[in-house]
Amino acid sequence: MSIKPVFSFSIDMKLSEKGVSVGKYDGETASLTAITQSNKTTSKIEFAITAGKLSKSSENDYLAIGSDTNILVYQVNDNLEVFFKEITEGVLCMIIGTTDDRAGPMLFCGSKQTVRGFNEHGDEILWIVTSCFVNSIELFDFNRDNELEIILGCENEKIKIYKNDKFIRELNESGPIKKVIKINSLLAFILKNGTIGIYEGHVRLWRIKAKSTASSAASYDILGTGHMQLVIGWESGKIDVRDPRSGDVLMKMMSSNKIIGLLVTDYRGLGSNELISISEQGDIQGYMTSSINLAPISACDGSQISEMLNLKQNLLTELIHYENNLRVNDALTSASDDSLTTVKQLRAVANDFAIIPANTRLSIGISADEIKKSSVEVSISTNNSTIIKAVIVFTDGIFPNGEVLIVHPPTKRVVSGIYSGIQSASSRISGVSNIVIPLKIPKDEVIDVHIKAFVGSVDGNQFHVFELNRQLPKFSMYSLPEKISGSPKGFEEISKLSENFSLKAPESFVKFKVAERVSRFCMFINQNFLLPADIEPPANEIDSFDFLKLSLVSLRDASPVIITFYNDSNIIIQTENLELAGNLVQSIAEFMNITNLDSSASFPGTVSKFHELFEKLQGLQESANVLRTDTALKINLAKILVIRAEDAKITNMAQRLRVGNVATKMMTQYKEALLQKNVEKLVQIMEMGK
Amino acid sequence: MELELTRVDYNLVGITLQNSLKLLPAKKAKEQQRFVIGDQDGVVQLLSVKKDEVIVHFKTVPGNIITSVQLGGSTGTIHDKIFVAYDNQIVGYNKKGKVFLTFDTNLTEPIKSLCVTGNDLIVCGNHVYTHYKDCKESGSYLCGDTIVDCNVLCPHNTSRVITILACSGRVLRLLEHCRVRKLIELESIPTVLHVPKNAIGNKILVGFSDGRVTLFCVNPMLTEVKQEILIASKDNLSAVTCLDTFDLYGDGKEELIIGRRDGTIQVFTTMLENNEFEMDCQQLLYEENFNESISCVFGGCIGVAGYAELIACTYTGKVFGLTTRTIGDILTDAKSNSNVVTDASQRIQKLKSEIEYLEQAVTREREKYQLSTQAMSSGLSAISAMAINDSISLSADDATYILSLELPSPIENILVQSDVVALEMLDVEGNSAVVSKSECDKNDGNILLCCYRCQVNTNRLDLKFRTVEGHHGTLRVYITPNIQPKCCQLKTYTIHPLSLHMVVHNYDQTRPMNTLTLKGNFSQGEMHSWISNCLPEVPERIDSNDENVLMFKNVFLGTFLICVYSKGEAEFRSDNVTTISIVKDFIAKKATTKHIKIELTINVHDNTTEAFVKLIEPKFLFYNNLLKDNKTLQALLELNVQSDDEYELLSERYKMLLQNKRDIQEKFRKESNNFDRLINLLTYFYVHKNKLKGIDVKNRIETIKCSLKNSKSNSLVQAFSEI
């Protein structure tokens, strides 16, 4: 089943993904606006455009053009510049809309560090520091308070939600966010790694990862079901129509060119919205809502039956597996009095079956690496002589080249033993029953790890797949300085570990007060750190302890972190890492359900670094200015040359109107006029020849 | 596309391979036909369709794997007797399911292909062809390579029986009275034979692993062979798995129907009825991909009387029709008969209850299995292997390998591991699996570790990779189907040192050759096994005891390798020094491990260098120009030429570039990385040439690469002489 476009045309220009927008510049008819790729001639300038109603008084949409240095707001219909602003940190994305009725419509402009909001006069009335690249902005009622919030899709893998300039919440994703788009009451997101998904409030309804990267999404009822579908345009040229709540694909369309934009607007002015797809090659196609409901037809065209046949087949296969399993077991029990026959029989079926003792278990241990102190180690072992042929670790966002780490021990046959990780190959072993996998986790975040281990015999070519899912706590990359046993530990024992702490205690610290039961703190530590043993609160909570001092070492840079909980509810976190201190404070506050928390902090190291950087920045700004003037000069020169070329063309034509001496004379006069910058005279010369 | 076909799902059977399904002939035209299927579970069933309902006429109990289902009957009668090959037995069923023949062939290997004509039975194993007349052996023939498919020609309906064997060594063998009468050399590996029914018995259609379809015409004396490529091989076309010719329009002209490994079914127009050889105007009427490799496809009348239809079965056992009856037809028919919609929903209901029943059974068994895996249990967990339909082939188009894997169940993920240096996985268009590369340590024997995570309902996946000659090893693929209890299967593939060579039947004798002569105390068998370890496609057996000759061609460069060997002596000739050097290194190493002393003589002809470079030159210049053109084109596009005036100002070359912009960009996207590959090969050629002369130039590799890459000269010979 396919849907044919209602209109289609091509503008035969390569278009940039950075900007496609539709605006009613005369207040009535929709115009499509796009950026061509060839605009990149002078330097690597990133552009963003958007169109919308910025003025309270005018019905016309304004067009905003953002580059890496400035914003220009333009009134297309009257060919008028509304305002021009320098944005030194560059513009990455823009949107026009109203989040605050008093302030009126605003142009929101996301850059490498900030989000700014301008009104129709170009006054900056909103300023949010995001401290990360803002790739996409959307205005959306996130918390259902009937007001729009500002949703930012950021490069640092976070979706941030602001109520005007107040931060409300962030949602962590598995890759840099490319786009956030509202789909009715839901929020769709597109990641640069090919993932797409939907949030309802802060709950993620679904997310899927594809080979290609999605470039745009829109909400449109293309199938005529009466409900909106989620339409996704992909770089591969595919357009998916999905159920927004489940992510199920309802229909697919294919074109050969990268889709760079999907827009919904009444493009032809017929009174109903159309879905418009725009490809990189400049092909533009419009689709309309189907007049008949296509959903049941697409289900009826045999796909339902073939789906059911698939299901039936899978069930049958599983049943056959169980039947065969019983058959082999029966055959073996009947022959069990003669162990030689058993072995022979096993050999006979070994190639057709994956055979392991039924009670084979796979145990998994996760701990800080004890020797090198540089990573978290996942150790996997079987409880018998079966070997682990390979292990695939799936997790998002911690591996450099994708979503997996595969461990495949050498295949040469030697004795069984422990195989540790991908780094060591000192012992040449093949039949391994124990594998240690080092994981380096780049960010302090909860990580879901999905492990698939292939278990079988050394010679076999069939393996059982054991699937294990584990969650690594947020601060798993901080470990105790000493090895301790696995039994629960009291406060004194833990605090004593600090006495032998060889590293110098950090000078910087943050101090705050949290009035909570001490058992809650134990729970916080046990849940958020990967310690070999649980910390037990003292039996009599109130006064049986002075403090709990937890000294930790970062597995990333071996820097020390000391967290001390005092009996008087004071907490001191000592670390030179300001970000870590912040993360710990936020996590404790979240865990204890604290909405307001005050703290005192001292980070002398960071402050002096800040000063240093600030001075450097000033120097850089100066040189940037010099460079910019230089560029401006060059651009002017280029412009002058282009104008000269145009002049030459026109003059040539003008010259061709005259012949002989008259023509040469005209040229001399023309040159004179050009030098005097006398435009009237130039025109006169062209028209009259003198 | 002209032909509109609608898919109708009929049934689900066990795994089916080529020759699993046959359509019984109809007594009258346009009358509904019955079809017989034999699957890998050993079940034979005769089915027909009545009002969307599948009717089973007979069905046998599961037994041995069925390798072929054929129809036959004595001359002059309707050919509706069913012959089924199990293991090394042939069983005949009549249309009521009664066994009228059980014939034990006593062959040492299982029957791979079967053909029935009159009272003649043609039976083939992997290497042996045996001919039976009235169930009595009348002769046999042994092939060195593998027999892929067999068929017969009966010229002018005489009692002559000419057997055609399609063999993996890129030949068709035509035999009469078990003697080879004609050997037809082929450019690619044949996969399927089809003899058009209505022809006078001189035409053979052959499908190939590179996707092409060729028509062969032989004269009755079998002395002359005319051939015409009906469908050419291009753009990594998937292998042909089945062929049929059928008149779908009812206009007296037969259409060509092709089923492919990647699940594509195509219909083309042909002029088969015409005895003249003018089949150059093929027009594609229909093409659709069904994602599961097609085992059989036939044209006939199945679902509804009066409507022509294609019936196909897939590897995973789906049997479906592609009917010419459109939705419009159904709606018109529905006016007179309102049952159509209810028929469909009744089927769905029936399927639903079947599934419900199965789900309950599965839940019960799953619990039982779980109990059996408790700690105290002493039993085993034995999960049967899943049949994997795999094939690996070297594509001559772009000198890459395609490994296609297909399972009867959906694939969850595929782990690829390799210890072959420079083996590189490539992207396959239309492949939706998410690829992730893992870091790996080559000290553990891991040069490549990556994982393909499949999207739901993916039963087959094509993997594409590129090799560099001189490096060999193993490619290991672990396939995990998404079926409980979860198990995975390991498949291994050998990558030979001369991985980009394929078997050919003749070579350009005018080319100057370098030679490598080996003398020593080795048997012919030993040398044969070394060669088969060094090169792909080497036949398992040696045809003769005296001098054996094998010829190969490098598909990327077009150079040849000729191996002539007998007991104690072997000679290798090639116009490519690199090839000779690789053979030398490999065989010397093999011989050393076997403690066999070998005397080596190498004769490098200096003029082979120039000939080799000249051979590569067009390719080199093509890629070099493509790169330059693309660079210039990008700059031209930046200019954003809008008006004709501006366009006219451009030079002819620039105009040409702008005119062919899409073509250039497409070519660049597809082939640009071949330039680096060529540079590498040329560099290694230089290194090996010097190595054979005893000069080590390894430290100059990067300089050579650079100077070749940046060579401005329009002559590679000159560029090469300058390094």
Mutate to test the interface with A, among B478, B484, B491, B642 (most CBs of A within 10 A): B478
> Mind telling me how many Å the CA of A113 is from chain B's nearest CA?
31
Listing from the earlier edge strand, what are the strands of the sheet with A48-52? A48-52, A62-66, A70-75, A80-86
Residue B378 lies in a domain: no
Report how far residue B550's alpha carbon sits from residue B571's, in angstroms, rounded to the nearest whole number: 11
Query: Is the Cβ pair A357, B436 closer than 8 Å?
Result: no
Please state, as a whole number, how many other Cβ atoms lie within 10 Å of the Cβ of residue B700. Answer: 15
Tell whether B144 and B155 lie within a shared domain. yes
Tell whether B346 and B435 lie within a shared domain. no
Report how far residue A188's alpha carbon sits from residue A101's, in angstroms, rounded to the nearest whole number: 25
Task: Give per-residue pLDDT as tens, B94-131.
Answer: 888 888 888 888 788 889 999 988 888 889 988 889 99
Please state, as a whole number, how many other Cβ atoms lie within 10 Å of the Cβ of residue B88. Answer: 18
Contacts of B580 (CB under 8 A, 6+ apart): B514, B515, B516, B572, B574, B602, B604, B688, B692
Query: Is the Cβ pair A324, B384 closer than 8 Å?
Result: yes
pLDDT score of A321: 86
* Candidate from A353, A361, A454 with C-beta closest to B382: A353
Tell whether B98 and B19 lie within a shared domain. yes
Tell whether B437 and B449 lie within a shared domain. yes
Q: Which of A593-607, B411-425, B636-650 has the highest mean pLDDT?
A: B411-425
pLDDT score of B443: 78
Tell whether B637 and B705 lie within a shared domain. yes
* Candidate from B351, B386, B638 with C-beta closest to A41: B638
Tell whether B244 and B110 lie within a shared domain. yes
Task: Give per-residue pLDDT as tens, B309-328.
Answer: 899 999 988 898 888 877 66
**Tokens standing for residue A671:** 């040159």
ipTM of the complex: 0.82
Interchain contact B381–A (C-beta under 8 A): yes
pLDDT score of B198: 65
Q: Give how far the C-alpha of residue A629 lies from the chain's centroid of Cα atoms, to the nearest Å.
A: 36
Report how far residue B175's alpha carbon sits from residue B153's, in angstroms, rounded to the nearest whole number: 10
**CB < 8 Å to A463, chain B:** 478, 487-490
Give the chain A residue nearest B362 (alpha carbons): A319
Segment B211-218 long-range contacts (CB within 8 Å, at least 24 positions apart) = B211/B236, B211/B237, B211/B238, B211/B239, B211/B240, B211/B260, B212/B188, B212/B237, B212/B240, B213/B240, B213/B243, B213/B256, B213/B258, B214/B186, B215/B279, B216/B172, B216/B184, B217/B277, B218/B153, B218/B174, B218/B182
**CB < 8 Å to A390, chain B:** 415, 417, 478
The phi, psi pair for A628, rounded to 5°, reads -65, -40
Report how far residue B258's alpha carbon sits from residue B264's, in angstroms, rounded to the nearest whole number: 8
Three-state SS for B143-188 is CCCCEEEEEEECHHHCCCCEEEEEECCCEEEEEECCEEEEEEECCC
pLDDT score of B281: 56
Q: Determine whether A14 is exposed, middle or buried from the number of CB atoms within 10 Å of its CB (0-12, 13-18, 19+).
A: middle
* Residues of chain B numbered 628-687 and touching chain A (CB < 8 Å): 637-640
Give the chain A residue nearest B434 (alpha carbons): A211
Task: Look up residue B231 and give its amino acid.
Answer: I
pLDDT score of B564: 92
Listing from the earlier edge strand, what are the strands of the sheet with B89-93? B66-72, B81-86, B89-93, B99-104
Query: Is the Cβ pair A324, B382 closer than 8 Å?
Result: yes
pLDDT score of B149: 92
> Mind telling me how many Å the CA of B138 is from chain A's nearest CA?
36
Contacts of A98 (CB under 8 A, 6+ apart): A104, A105, A106, A139, A148
Residue B372 lies in a domain: no
Read off the CATH number of the domain in which B417 is found.
Answer: 2.60.40
**Tokens standing for residue A632:** 């401006």
Contacts of B680 (CB under 8 A, 6+ apart): B468, B705
Query: Is the Cβ pair A325, B369 closer than 8 Å?
Result: yes
Report how far residue B238's alpha carbon sits from residue B208's, in angstroms, rounded to the nearest whole number: 9
Read off the CATH number of the domain in which B89 is found.
Answer: 2.130.10.10
Tell whether B596 and B639 lie within a shared domain. no
Tell whether B590 and B476 lie within a shared domain. no
% pLDDT > 90, chain B: 18
Task: Give per-residue pLDDT as tens, B16-28.
Answer: 988 999 988 887 7
Task: Give per-residue pLDDT as tens, B228-286.
Answer: 888 887 777 889 999 998 888 877 778 889 999 988 999 988 765 554 444 455 788 88
> Mind telling me how many Å the CA of B375 is from chain A's nearest CA?
5
The last residue of a domain, from among B583, B604, B625: B604
* Candidate from B366, B383, B450 with C-beta closest to A354: B383
> Mind telling me how many Å the CA of B307 is from chain A's nearest CA?
18
Query: Is the Cβ pair A318, B451 closer than 8 Å?
Result: no
Confidence bin at B177 (pLDDT 50/70/90): confident
Task: Look at the block and give the residue holding tokens 């790890």.
Answer: A449
Low-confidence ranges of chain A (pLDDT < 70): 1-2, 18, 37-47, 293-303, 334-351, 371-372, 411-431, 500-501, 540-544, 635, 638-690
Helix axes B673-692, B606-639, angle to 10 degrees: 160
Mutate to test the interface with B, among A39, A207, A359, A468 (most CBs of B within 10 A): A359
**CB < 8 Å to B346, chain A:** none
Task: Look up residue A125 and give its amino acid.
Answer: I
Q: Give how far the C-alpha of residue A657 lies from the chain's centroid of Cα atoms, to the nearest Å.
A: 63
Tell whether B444 and B508 lie within a shared domain. no
Query: Is the Cβ pair A302, B431 closer than 8 Å?
Result: no
Q: Determine whether B73 is exposed, middle or buried from the number of CB atoms within 10 Å of its CB (0-12, 13-18, 19+).
A: middle
* Candidate from A318, A355, A361 with C-beta closest to B483: A318
Question: Which residue, B478, B499, B339, B323, is CA-closest to B415?
Answer: B478
Residue B380 lies in a domain: no
Host H or E run for residue B434: strand B434-437
Host H or E run for residue A517: none
Q: Alpha-carbon torsion B361, B363, B366, B372, what sign?
A: negative
Tell whether B62 and B75 lie within a shared domain. yes
Interchain contact B456–A (C-beta under 8 A): no
Question: Which residue, A394, A426, A397, A395, is CA-closest to A409?
Answer: A426
The phi, psi pair for B718, rounded to 5°, reads -70, -45
The phi, psi pair for B668, rounded to 5°, reads -60, -45
Mutate to test the interface with B, among A294, A303, A318, A343 (most CBs of B within 10 A): A318
Report how far residue B454's alpha carbon sits from residue B480's, in angstroms, rounded to the nearest whole number: 10
Distances (CA, A) of A362 to A386, A655, B485: 10, 91, 15
Please state, as a whole number, how many other Cβ atoms lie within 10 Å of the Cβ of residue A540. Answer: 8
Mutate to test the interface with A, among B349, B451, B494 (most CBs of A within 10 A): B451
**CB < 8 Å to B432, chain A:** 210-211
> Mind telling me how many Å the CA of A683 is from chain B's nearest CA?
23
Report how far residue A616's alpha carbon sits from residue A614's, in angstroms, rounded to the nearest whole number: 5
Mutate to test the interface with A, among B488, B633, B641 (most CBs of A within 10 A): B488
Give the chain A residue nearest B432 (alpha carbons): A211
Tell whether B110 and B230 lie within a shared domain. yes
Report how far residue B378's alpha carbon sits from residue A450's, in angstroms, rounded to the nearest whole number: 29
Mutate to test the interface with A, among B444, B474, B475, B492 (most CBs of A within 10 A): B444
**CB < 8 Å to B368, chain A:** 322
Give the chain A residue nearest B379 (alpha carbons): A358
For chain B, the domain total comes to 5
Please state, as a whole number, how many other Cβ atoms lie within 10 Å of the Cβ of residue A608. Answer: 10
Segment A478-482 long-range contacts (CB within 8 Å, at least 24 positions apart) = A478/A529, A478/A552, A478/A553, A478/A554, A478/A555, A478/A561, A479/A368, A479/A373, A479/A530, A479/A531, A479/A552, A479/A553, A479/A555, A480/A368, A480/A531, A480/A532, A480/A551, A480/A552, A480/A553, A481/A551, A481/A552, A481/A553
> Mind telling me how many Å the CA of A430 is from chain B's nearest CA?
10
* Candidate from A305, A314, A454 with C-beta closest to B488: A454
The phi, psi pair for B589, rounded to 5°, reads -65, -45
Instruction: Put residue B382 in one of left, alpha, beta given phi > 0 → left and psi -120 to 50 → alpha.
Output: beta
Query: Is the Cβ pair B9, A309 closer than 8 Å?
Result: yes
The phi, psi pair for B625, rounded to 5°, reads -70, -40
Q: What fold is seen in the domain A362-472?
A: Immunoglobulin-like (2.60.40)
> At CA A220, angle to CA A215 and CA A222, rounded to 5?
105
DSSP conformation class of A221: -
**CB < 8 Å to B317, chain A:** 313
Interchain contact B432–A (C-beta under 8 A): yes
| A450 and A393 Cβ atoms separated by less than 8 Å | yes
Residue B371 lies in a domain: no
Tell whether B135 and B281 lie within a shared domain. yes
Read off the CATH number of the domain in which B505 is found.
Answer: 3.30.310.200
In chain A, % helix, strand, coil (3-state, to 5) comes to 25, 40, 35
Give the chain A residue nearest B11 (alpha carbons): A309
Query: Is the Cβ pair B413, A392 closer than 8 Å?
Result: yes
* Candidate from B375, B436, B489 with C-beta closest to A462: B489
Residue B373 lies in a domain: no
Q: Which domain holds residue B341?
A: 328-359
- Asked whether residue B606 carries a pLDDT value surpassing 60, the answer given is yes
Interchain contact B281–A (C-beta under 8 A): no
The last residue of a domain, from among B476, B495, B514: B495
Report how far residue B417's alpha carbon sits from residue B451's, in angstroms, rounded to the nearest whole number: 9
Query: Is the Cβ pair B9, A320 closer than 8 Å?
Result: no
Beta bridge partners of A167: A162
Please state, as a whole number, how many other Cβ atoms lie within 10 Å of the Cβ of residue A336. Answer: 11
**CB < 8 Å to A309, chain B:** 9, 12, 318, 351
Query: Is the Cβ pair A304, B440 closer than 8 Å?
Result: no
Contacts of B151 (CB under 8 A, 6+ apart): B115, B163, B164, B193, B194, B195, B204
Check residues A427 and B517 and name the one with the higher pLDDT.
B517
Residue B426 lies in a domain: yes
Query: Is the Cβ pair A353, B377 closer than 8 Å?
Result: no
Report how far residue A605's alpha carbon sits from residue A29's, in angstroms, rounded to the nearest whole number: 59
Q: Alpha-carbon torsion B705, B707, B712, B718, what sign?
A: negative
Region A478-602: CATH code: 3.30.310
